Structure 1
Amino acid sequence: MTLLHALILGIVEGITEFLPISSTAHMILTAELLRLEDSPFVKSFEIIVQLGAILAVVLLYWRRLLDFKLLTKAAVAFLPTGIVGLTVYKIVKGYLLGNVRVVLASLLVGGIVLVLFDRRWRDDEREPDLDAITYGQALAIGLCQCLAMIPGVSRSAATIVGGTLLGVPKRTIVDFSFILAIPTMAAATGYDLLKSYGDLAGHGPELAMGFVVSFITALLAVKTFLAFLKGRGFAPYGWYRIVLAVAFFFVFVR
């Protein structure tokens, strides 16, 4: 991987991390287009670089992170992901991460779900109220997030759709999804660093490039997504996923 590759992947990560289109899928497909070897370092890069985007949420939501009750709910929501993640880490990284067929299937199915979902819940524009989320809902949202361990599902799509089906207002679950990303990706990055630090030797500049670029682009993407959501909902993201999956099927799989 060169610095140019890291720059490109950092941009892709920052733009897509908080959109319901799967940043992992986009990085995997971008890596395929760049003809990057599916090496242990590239897989770790695709995990670790997400922390840069997560720091953008810390910056944008830092006042809310001072709310102990909200942090407790985020911790409850993270619990299922932490347990399941530790259990299936080797399977996800060894067999699913980098698997183009799995990514394309997840993008397609997730796209169809978002289109159908948007038809039912598009008009729910109540103002965000994170206090309204119960601990039971937080735990259930965390269980939904576990689906995002399958590359291409999208962590934000899983939590937003799941939370809305649980009765959480759409804009409230979007905000909660952003906040839940902080412990989730911090833990994923920390665990991967612990397990794969040997694969990172000599790649400090590439990691730094991806980290900084993803942070900057994520700042712009979060604000853009919230503005777009008010006027158009989730259907455009669903159709985008469907078109992307079909297009890349003919590129990589046919």
Structure 2
Amino acid sequence: MEIMEIIKAIILGLVEGLTEFAPVSSTGHMIIVDDMWLKSADFLGRYPANTFKIVIQLGSIFAVVVVFWRRFVDLLGLNQFIRGKVNNTIQRLKLSQVIVGLIPAGIFGLLLEDFIDEHLFSTETVLIGLLLGAVLMIIADKYASSVPNTTTVDQITYRQALSVGVIQCFSLWPGFSRSGATISGGVLMGMSHRAAADFTFIMAVPIMAGASGISLIKNWQYFSVDALPFFIAGFISAFIFALVSIKFFLKLIDRVKLLPFAVYRIVLVVIIYFLFF
């Protein structure tokens, strides 16, 4: 195992970790890196790119679990085993609300999976997704309520959860960004930016874990003792940078809103277009 291979794993883990939960589309960034760097330079060498992407995505998922572990304990009904007697009269986000938010994209994802894999995974389609997602984020900020009626994730209604889930379907287009779509949808439905972000991250765990788990089973034959240090380095890198990114993003989102991320996406589209097209 060469040191350069470990450095490569750390770099890709960094890209995944920093972009997975910011509204800039980690899938879009990975496709761009894949098209512009990995394929052209044989960047990963003997290691299968798709398998490695699954591993680093699992690192990002683990970071969300660490940040929101108390919330997941509540959702799974395990709080009584950890905290003792719990006051059930306090309004809390319910697991059923998370499930309602996941249903629309889950259905459309299953129906359109083959079409998306065959036709939408290219730099050109990612640029379209980045641009359209930026437009939605600008619209969300423009029409956001100055006094949101849902300031915390525990105040979310089933109607809001379903509406966010429907808007999440746009993120099936690579580059659109799942977090960008769901946060924008939440804001348009009367949530504060922070409440929408919290709900987005919580919803991310089951949907990403499920997709990664299925992919992991399909690609299990590509794991080997020789590749283990490479995969571990990528996993740890993605976990650390995702952890930092999530905490930083949650502290800023109510102050900076979505506009700076939309501007970044538009600038990225322009740069990639003129550099490579």
Q: Please tell me the TM-score bracket, short chain as reference.
A: 0.7 to 0.9
Letter in 1 for 2:7: L
1:63-115 per-residue CA deviation (whole Å, 9 max, x = no partner) reads 11122352222122222233322333333333323x00000111112123322
| Correspondent of 1:179 among 186, 202, 214 | 202
Residues 45 and 144 (structure 1), Cα distance of their counterparts in 2 relative to 1, 3 Å cut: farther
Residues 194 and 80 (structure 1), Cα distance of their counterparts in 2 relative to 1, 3 Å cut: farther
Structure-1 separation of matches of 2:62 and 2:151: 21
Contact 2:16 2:57 in 1 (8 A): yes
In the superposition, the TM-score normalised over structure 2's length comes to: 0.81
Whether 1:213 and 2:231 are equivalent positions in the alignment is no
Report the CA distance between 1:51 and its aligned residue.
1.9
Whether 1:64 and 2:65 are equivalent positions in the alignment is no
Which secondary structure does the structure 2 equivalent of 1:168 belong to? Answer: coil
Partner in structure 2 of residue 132 of structure 1: 155
1:178-228 per-residue CA deviation (whole Å, 9 max, x = no partner) reads 100100110110121233334556644333222111110111111211222
Report the CA distance between 1:163 and its aligned residue.
1.7
Residues 195 and 84 (structure 1), Cα distance of their counterparts in 2 relative to 1, 3 Å cut: farther
Q: CA RMSD in A?
A: 2.5
In the superposition, the TM-score normalised over structure 1's length comes to: 0.88
Contact 2:151 2:191 in 1 (8 A): no
Residues 6 and 122 (structure 1), Cα distance of their counterparts in 2 relative to 1, 3 Å cut: farther
Whether 1:150 and 2:173 are equivalent positions in the alignment is yes
Partner in structure 1 of residue 19 of structure 2: 16
Higher helix fraction (1 or 2) = 1
Report the CA distance between 1:122 and its aligned residue.
7.7
Whether 1:244 and 2:251 are equivalent positions in the alignment is no
Q: Compare 126-135 and 4-13 and name the one that shifted more.
A: 126-135
Residues 216 and 243 (structure 1), Cα distance of their counterparts in 2 relative to 1, 3 Å cut: same
Greater CA radius of gyration, 1 or 2?
Answer: 2
Q: What is the aligned length?
A: 252
Partner in structure 2 of residue 114 of structure 1: 137
Letter in 2 for 1:163: G
Residues 206 and 157 (structure 1), Cα distance of their counterparts in 2 relative to 1, 3 Å cut: same
Partner in structure 2 of residue 159 of structure 1: 182
Structure-2 separation of matches of 1:50 and 1:190: 10
> What stretches of structure 1 of length at least 5 have no aligned partner?
none
Report the CA distance between 1:47 and its aligned residue.
4.2
Structure-2 separation of matches of 1:243 and 1:216: 27
Structure-2 separation of matches of 1:150 and 1:204: 32
Letter in 1 for 2:17: G
Structure-2 separation of matches of 1:171 and 1:226: 7
Structure-1 separation of matches of 2:119 and 2:50: 11
Structure-2 separation of matches of 1:243 and 1:75: 35
Letter in 2 for 1:45: F
